[in-house]
């Protein structure tokens, strides 16, 4: 897994970022979702390196082998602005001040925030399986709450930690098939979720989503801020995003200047289930 890639831990003071990286040429940064680590890209990153890109795969703040500060009462320590700042600072220290950016699931919200807060750093942007948090919440109904109940469960104080940490492997196993993920990717995920501080950080990500992240998005809309980078959306046709919100491109056109995209024949974890289709879409968009 990730043969030929280097691994670094970039110390940022009150946080540190674990990064896998390899290749030459135009840089692409890949941000994973919940509860994955950067290992989720193990079938895509080497394809992009072979296509002539420099590829960097960080663990998002608090996930995998990246570390953040202690959780804060307002959850901002694990908000997307803080996580995006980690990514940007780590890339700069690795000599990559500007890059193409890809985010999946929770990583897509970090990527969105980075593109909004630091437009000079993001060349082209790909977001996978998402619409803005505030857009989801403005549409929330019984169907959304039933499908995406974990957003609201994870936001509760203390209870999810007690439930998940009682048997982390049992909690995450139903959506973590080693045959689909690849055995090394699966082993890395199971190692990460066995650490109580990692589980806490991942839950803080969701708590931030319903509080500070939503507030930041609403402030963006009120101020008329939009994503300037060309935006490609990829969504899993065998997941429920389109069923819940319709064509996500229509929603994102209110947030970005230039939007395109299409569905991928995959379940939610596209990088693991449909790596060739995703890699081809990224090569075409970034090429």
Kindly list the catalytic residues: 105, 268
Report the half-sphere exposure of 161 (CA within 13 A, side-chain side).
Answer: 14
Q: Which of these, 13, 10, 71, 79, lies nearest to 38 by C-alpha position?
A: 10
**Separation between Cα atoms, residue 94 and residue 171, nearest integer Å:** 36
Q: Which of 130, 124, 136, 131 is nearest to 99 (CA)?
A: 124
Paired with 231 in beta bridges are: 125, 259
Nearest to 113 by CA among 217, 265, 186: 217
What is d(CA 8, CA 26) in angstroms, rounded to the nearest whole number? 19
SS3 content of the chain, % helix, strand, coil (to 5): 50, 20, 30
């Amino acid at each position: 897994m990730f043969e030929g890639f280097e691994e670094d831990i970039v110390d940022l003071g009150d946080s540190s970022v674990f990064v896998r990286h390899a290749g030459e040429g135009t840089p692409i940064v890949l941000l994973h979702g919940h509860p994955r680590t950067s290992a989720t890209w193990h079938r895509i990153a080497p394809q992009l390196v072979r296509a002539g890109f420099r590829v960097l795969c960080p663990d998002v703040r608090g996930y995998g082998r990246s570390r953040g500060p202690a959780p804060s009462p307002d959850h901002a320590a694990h908000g997307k602005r803080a996580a995006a700042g980690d990514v940007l600072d780590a890339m700069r220290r690795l000599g990559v001040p500007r890059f193409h950016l890809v985010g999946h699931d929770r990583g897509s919200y970090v990527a969105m925030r980075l593109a909004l807060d630091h437009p000079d750093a993001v060349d082209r942007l790909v977001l996978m399986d998402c619409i803005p948090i505030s857009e989801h919440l403005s549409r929330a109904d019984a169907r959304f709450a039933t499908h995406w109940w974990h957003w609201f469960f994870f936001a509760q104080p203390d209870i999810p930690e007690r439930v998940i940490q009682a048997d982390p492997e049992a909690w995450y196993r139903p959506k973590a098939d080693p045959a689909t993920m690849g055995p090394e990717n699966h082993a890395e995920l199971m190692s990460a979720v066995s650490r109580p501080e990692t589980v806490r950080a991942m839950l803080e990500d969701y708590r931030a989503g319903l509080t500070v992240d939503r507030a930041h998005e609403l402030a963006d809309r009120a101020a008329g801020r939009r994503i300037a980078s060309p935006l490609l959306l990829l969504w899993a046709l065998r997941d429920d995003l389109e069923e819940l919100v319709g064509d996500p491109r229509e929603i994102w056109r209110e947030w970005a200047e230039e939007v395109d995209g299409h569905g991928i024949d995959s379940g939610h974890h596209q990088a693991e289930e449909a790596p060739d289709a995703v890699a081809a879409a990224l090569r075409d968009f970034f090429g």
